[in-house]
Amino acid sequence: MGTITTRDGTEIFYKDWGSGQPIVFHHGWPLSADDWDNQMLFFLKNGFRVIAHDRRGHGRSSQTATGNDMDTYAADVAELASALDLRDAIHVGHSTGGGEVTRYVARHGEGRVAKAIIIAAIPPVMVKSDRNPGGTPVDVFDDLRAQLAANRAQFYLDIPTGPFYGFNRPGADISQGLIRNWWRQGMMGGANAHYDCIRVFSETDFTDDLKRIKVPVLVMHGDDDQIVPIADAALLSIKLLTNGTLKVYERFPHGMCSTHPDVVNRDILAFVRA
DSSP symbols for 213-227 = --S-EEEEEETT-SS
Asked whether 62 and 47 are in contact (CB, 8 A), the reply is no
Q: For the chain, give the mean pLDDT.
A: 98
Within a 10 A sphere around the Cβ of 210, how many other Cβ atoms? 25
95 tagged catalytic: yes
pTM here is 0.97
CA distance 255 to 250: 13
Q: Give the domain range for residue 122.
A: 2-273
Question: Which of 27, 91, 194, 254 is the catalytic position?
Answer: 254
Tell me, yes or no, if 225 is annotated catalytic: yes
Looking at 95, 202, 237, 258, which residue is catalytic?
Answer: 95
Residue 177 above 80 pLDDT? yes
Q: What is the pLDDT of residue 88?
A: 98
Tell me how many domains the chain contains.
Answer: 1
Q: What is the DSSP string of 85-138?
A: T--SEEEEEETHHHHHHHHHHHHH-TTTEEEEEEES---S--B--SS-TTSB-H
Q: Which CATH number is 22's domain given?
A: 3.40.50.1820
Cα–Cα distance measured from residue 164 to residue 159, given in angstroms and rounded to the nearest whole number: 6
pLDDT of 1 strictly over 80:
no
Q: Which residues pair with 221 in a beta bridge?
A: 248
The yes-or-no answer on residue 237 being catalytic is no
The confidence band for 172, taking pLDDT boundaries of 50, 70 and 90, is: very high
256-270 residue pLDDT tens: 999 999 999 999 999
Distance from the first to the final alpha carbon of the chain = 30
pLDDT at 155 over 80: yes
Q: Tens of pLDDT along 41-86?
A: 999 999 999 999 999 999 999 999 999 999 999 999 999 999 999 9
The amino acid present at 267, given as its one-letter code, is D
Quote the pLDDT of residue 234: 98
Q: Select which of 76, 225, 232, 258 is catalytic.
A: 225
